[in-house]
Structure 1
Amino acid sequence: MAFRPPTPGLLVDNKYRLAERIGGGGMGDVFRAEHVLAGRAVAIKFLHPELADNSELSHRFFQEAQAVNRIRHPNIVDVIDAGVGDLGPYIVMEHLDGESLGMALARFGRLDMEAAVGVAIPVLEALDAAHRAGIIHRDLKPENIFIAFDPSRGSAVVRLLDFGIAKVLDSDGPSPRTRTGVVFGTPDYLSPEQATGDSPLDGRSDLFSVGVLLYEVLTGTRPFRAPTAVATAFRVVHAEVPTLASAGVTVDPRLEAIVQRLLQKDPAKRFQTAGDVVRELERVAADASRRTAALGRLINVQRRMALSLGNATENERDRLSSSRDRSRVGTPFDVSPAPPMRISPPLVSGSRVTEAPPGMRPSSEPAKPAPGATLSNALRNRGSEPTLLSQRGESLPTVRSADLGLRAEPTVRSADFGNLINRQRDTRRPNVTPVRPLPARFAGQYHVRGPVLRSVDRTIVDEYGRSARDEVVAQMPLRYADDFRHDSINALVGYDLEALDAYMELATSLVLRDLERWRDIGRLGVGGELHSLVRTLFARPLTDIASLMRRGTSIWSRLFTFGSWRVATGPTGRVTLHIGDFDPASLPLRLWVVGMVEETARRASGGGVKVTITLGELGFTSELACEISL
């Protein structure tokens, strides 16, 4: 059965009116919606239409609703309804006002002890209930933990999300939905037994993941991070467990011991139940009110309370609802952040480094033109700033405070220096073109799907030749270059945004010489690598631009793990495409997106379409808005 893609304005089962898309991933999209009779705001998760006919995926999709209702715990997001409609399988959940732990970490770098424990205890209480019900979560990560404002309490609460790949422990043996050779979960947070598949899983696997989460929120780094998923899984299984102190963070020794015990390779050496961990953490941070207050500062409960009571000023209301406040780096409102973890390089091309408040890392803001300056002048100034590069052409790593003499470094024998120099000489690449790195606040946080990289790469080859493209790839960081060099980019895989950003920056300098060409490359991609994704829009000419844009956003938005896409029609009939939370996108990527949208609309409407950028024609700003007209 063919299902229509969900788009804003559609009615789901005559009950829920869809508003804007608020999230999603490889399996589906999440929309804010409203119950048309009760007036209640909800969140609806849809399985992607192209996956809905897969009975196994549909079964796993509804498993989340079944698991949540089997557990019934206040720290787990509530599932209200589920079904299959014209838009395919869907699950209706409570709508949460706040932000994910992943977003909080992106803004603050790391959390103080009380906030970290304040997040961990509710998650562990939810896991304890799940484990007692015979359910293992298997996909704990910052994006699946939400810090929400509860107006009935006037405080922040923590909700555990996404039981979509949870495992049900049946007395008859393993779940039939876990096939041999298939590993579910996110590599950084896998337990050793989850990574190898050598032994049955139980609740202690989730406790290992909690240990990874605690390490990350306290230090700002992941304990077993490696360049690839396979290398990360290998480190999870074999690498020695790092201490918090080795990352330059000093905490209560009892908390250090808790994290170390959670991260033991042998499940028998970990805590045996989530409840045991809760009791130990409560001894470390005993004051529940202080933990709650620390969480409240992360999402600015005071201002949210004023908004819910109608006491907020118009300016405060705009700030709170703005995507800029949800994703901006720095100290929002009155938060007292944790001490700094890294010292950013003082010179970053395309950015100016702003002085950070005490305890926070400096943030890089996009350079803005002076009053009256043209965009071309701003871009010219942007390109003239120096960049810190290693001899391999990669941006220099950030320096932790722990690296500045606070801990002993391993001794290097003089005989080793020759080998080090030779290795460095072997990996050095000549004629390195200086480019600005992706701003540090976005590093490792966001991904783009394979079709974007394939489209950009193929179009460069077709338009400028393989030798020009090879020159670009030759100067890319080695960890990203191989996929381009061997044409092994997979359309179904998400790739680090850094890979696309490095490619675009180098291609701009070495090949295009003109930023506006990225808009042309976006247009050309629609007739090439992107055609199979958008061809459903070309089935018949559509003259209703608003409807066309809504259908298009359900496709385009899946290409990125960032950005909130919505379409609006003004009083005069003008149609606007607005993308919020688009901070990680550079100017080349923005122009490429506009070109892709423009050409898709032109082909789908069978006529001339004009797309005018009205907001966000500078890289690394919160929003991008375009006006579309025939």
Structure 2
Amino acid sequence: MKSGDRLGSKYRLLRQLGAGAMGVVWEAIHETTQRRVAIKLLTKPSEDLRHRLLREARICGSIAHRNVIEIYDIGETHEGEPYLVMQLLSGETLAELLLRKRRLPQPLAAQIGRDIARALTAAHAVNVIHRDLKPANVFLHQEAGVEGLVVKVLDFGVAKNLAAVNESLVTAVGGAVGSPAYMSPEAIMAARDLDARTDVWSLGVVLFEVLTGTRPFPGGGQELVIRIATGKIPRVSEILRHVEPAFDDVVAMCLERDRAKRIASAAVVERLLQAYVGPNDASRIHVGLAERAMALPAPAAVIPEVPANLETTMPLPDNVPAPVAPAPILPMQPWTAAPAVDTTMPLSRSSAQAQPAGKAGTAILGPGPAKPATGPRGTALMIDARAVLAQAQRSAPPPSPPPPPSVQNVERSVARSSIAPASKKRRPSPILGLAVSALVAFGVGVAIILGLAR
């Protein structure tokens, strides 16, 4: 394809915007309506890639939400290959922003995470799980006439429709497709009963990276599999000193290895993050003025190592609670002892130096002998995950994780953080006390003198 070519007698190609292992994206114009769009074409047609492209069109077409990329049309080239006509976006991906900024302030991180959670909630409402959520698949769009950024979740090519009985859960026999650094433990082990909680885990990894500038599980290959499946799960507070405790708990509950203890839905994550969204924070991040279209996810670059003194070199502004009206004074009531209620949430605050992140290319994990293979968006790895974990468990037992905080406790912490501390009770003036003592002494002296006079 070249500039000036026509597709379906409707779209004229203008310029190439990006290319990847799966295909290429062009900016095009609808010759009747003059609307500019982005068109995704396959560069190496295969039955699997055709299936992924058609599935992306079908799934995105079923999700109508502002935070999900829009699919306008689907057609076929003269050679009979499918292509997608999508919304033309302007801005950059979250992965590109992190390469420039390394990490983001808490209010902006909360806003981006909240909007991703909204997109996932819309997808989960129609029984769709994304399965490949990562910064490279989150686009920060500058929409004309709208202040700030609009978060768009992209690339539903490996999404799973839980309601489709005949749709295969995996695209490789016996394996799971995704970006290993962001995959949940059950996804990396190719579990057959994946549900919406696998996307909640991936969102937790994204939030961890956005806040700290590093991924919770660095490395790659067998080492990465072992860390995700059995290793210690770090907390944001171990790397970032200035983080709200309840915000730290939200990320920790997304990264619960036990699905029964993990936050059950993206809607709950959205509600918890809303408390930390600041006014117009997205508009403060410059993403470039040149118009760009949503391209295929590029190979994710290595996130630079976070220096040990990052907290002092890049201070974040502390959240200032909004002032509230003082509580009314209530009449005194007889004192009765109330049962003790432990509302504290002991958190691990051990320091840990940030580690460099590894590459996040798409990998295919499944049983079979280990051998190198080439996959889309980076080098793919064929790993026998269960054999790797069995060997690791024989050598060292997995550490027992600390008990996680509950969603109810986190919501109480969020509520407490938004209320200003009550004013302290005023102490009596020491001058007043001295005056009272002097008057008492004077009265006693007068009484003694009168007694002696008698």
Q: Which residue of 2 aligns with 1:74?
A: 66
Q: Secondary structure at the match of 1:30?
A: strand
Instruction: Tell me which stretches of 4 or more aligned residues in structure 1 moved more than 6 Å.
Output: none
Q: Which residue of 2 aligns with 1:262?
A: 254
Q: Which residue of 2 aligns with 1:245?
A: 237
Q: Secondary structure at the match of 2:142?
A: strand
The change in CA–CA distance for 1:171 and 1:147 in structure 2 (over 3 A counts) is closer
What root-mean-square deviation, in Å, do the aligned CA atoms of Structure 1 and Structure 2 show?
3.2
Rounded Cα–Cα distance in structure 2 between residues aligned with 1:252 and 1:188:
25
Q: Which amino acid aligns with 1:35?
A: H
Q: Which residue of 1 aligns with 2:40?
A: 45
The change in CA–CA distance for 1:35 and 1:444 in structure 2 (over 3 A counts) is farther
CA offset at residue 178 of structure 1? Answer: 4.5
Q: Secondary structure at the match of 2:178?
A: coil
After TM superposition, the score normalised by the length of structure 2 is: 0.65
Percent identical? 34
Q: Secondary structure at the match of 1:21?
A: strand
Q: Secondary structure at the match of 2:16?
A: strand
1:149 and 2:142 aligned: yes
CA offset at residue 129 of structure 1? Answer: 1.0
**1:84-99 to 2 correspondences below 5 Å:** 84-86=76-78, 88-99=81-92
Deviations 1:314-347 (A, max 9, x none): xxxxx73299xxxxxxxxxxxxxxxx94279xxx
Q: Which amino acid aligns with 2:168?
A: S
Q: Which amino acid aligns with 1:76?
A: V
Rounded Cα–Cα distance in structure 2 between residues aligned with 1:126 and 1:263:
19
Q: Which residue of 2 aligns with 1:183?
A: 176
The change in CA–CA distance for 1:446 and 1:269 in structure 2 (over 3 A counts) is closer
Rounded Cα–Cα distance in structure 2 between residues aligned with 1:192 and 1:180:
19
Q: Which residue of 2 aligns with 1:221?
A: 214
CA offset at residue 294 of structure 1? Answer: 1.8
Q: Which residue of 2 aligns with 1:103?
A: 96
Rounded Cα–Cα distance in structure 2 between residues aligned with 1:241 and 1:491:
30
Rounded Cα–Cα distance in structure 2 between residues aligned with 1:59 and 1:66:
10
Q: Which residue of 2 aligns with 1:297?
A: 284
Deviations 1:420-464 (A, max 9, x none): xxxxxxxxxxxxxxxxxxxxxx985798xxxxxxxxxxxxxxxxx
CA offset at residue 266 of structure 1? Answer: 1.2
Rounded Cα–Cα distance in structure 1 between residues aligned with 2:132 and 2:376:
18
Q: Which residue of 1 aligns with 2:26?
A: 31
The change in CA–CA distance for 1:322 and 1:73 in structure 2 (over 3 A counts) is closer
CA offset at residue 23 of structure 1? Answer: 2.2
CA offset at residue 55 of structure 1? Answer: 2.8
Q: Which residue of 1 aligns with 2:341?
A: none
1:342 and 2:307 aligned: yes
* Aligned residue among 221, 228, 242 for 1:236: 228
Structure 2: gaps of 5 or more residues: 293-304, 317-348, 362-370, 380-454
**1:571-590 to 2 correspondences below 5 Å:** none
Deviations 1:16-72 (A, max 9, x none): 222222223221111112222222111111122x3x2x3333122111011011111
1:60 and 2:47 aligned: no
Q: Which residue of 1 aligns with 2:6?
A: 11
Rounded Cα–Cα distance in structure 1 between residues aligned with 2:120 and 2:283:
22
**Aligned residues between the structures:** 323
Q: Which amino acid aligns with 2:28?
A: A
- Kept in 2, the 8 Å contact 1:98–1:299? The answer is no
Q: Point out the structure with max Rg over C-alpha.
A: 2
1:128 and 2:124 aligned: no
Q: Which residue of 1 aligns with 2:290?
A: 321
Rounded Cα–Cα distance in structure 2 between residues aligned with 1:102 and 1:176:
27
Deviations 1:259-287 (A, max 9, x none): 000001111111111111111111233x4
- Kept in 2, the 8 Å contact 1:225–1:232? The answer is yes
**1:406-485 to 2 correspondences below 5 Å:** none
The change in CA–CA distance for 1:56 and 1:111 in structure 2 (over 3 A counts) is same
Q: Which residue of 1 aligns with 2:200?
A: 207
Q: Secondary structure at the match of 1:342?
A: coil
Rounded Cα–Cα distance in structure 2 between residues aligned with 1:490 and 1:182:
14
Rounded Cα–Cα distance in structure 2 between residues aligned with 1:207 and 1:446:
18
Of structures 1 and 2, the one scoring higher in RCO (CA 8 A, sep 6+) is: 2
Q: Secondary structure at the match of 1:207?
A: helix
Rounded Cα–Cα distance in structure 2 between residues aligned with 1:189 and 1:278:
19
Q: Secondary structure at the match of 1:184?
A: strand
